[in-house]
Structure 1
């Protein structure tokens, strides 16, 4: 899988356990569905995909009895990466 991730442009620091292509974008790791939907709606310039590095507790598929580790969804592309969203979301 390391070769596939490299071919798709997933930065090593963002590699996780799952990799998929959705409508031309790369989704790496346990990215919440709402962020994928937002990506597909907004289609920001310079973004190749979204990633959640590692396997943080509380991320989709990593629910563990209410335990939640803070994590970030990172947008990445040829010019670098930036925070797309932070979890858990604040109750504002």
Structure 2
């Protein structure tokens, strides 16, 4: 993961890097100590069951609420993540 991240940063040339994916991708970046923000998109639906949002535990002690905004019927939540030491 770290080698791919270094390559991504080099290609980004100083710009922010946005990685799109599910909870497993978020977890892999967090495991490597490379995650600094989570942007969640939520829509008003009711599910009877399902998988957790993230397959790994990122505790609230490492999360700080940055902002929330309504976009139509959807909600966008931005959380700042204190980087964990790489696993």
State TM-score, norm by structure 2: 0.25
Give the greater-gyration-radius structure (CA).
Answer: 2
- TM-score (normalised: structure 1): 0.24
Q: Which has the higher contact order (CA 8 A, sep 6+)?
A: 2
Say which structure is richer in helix. 2
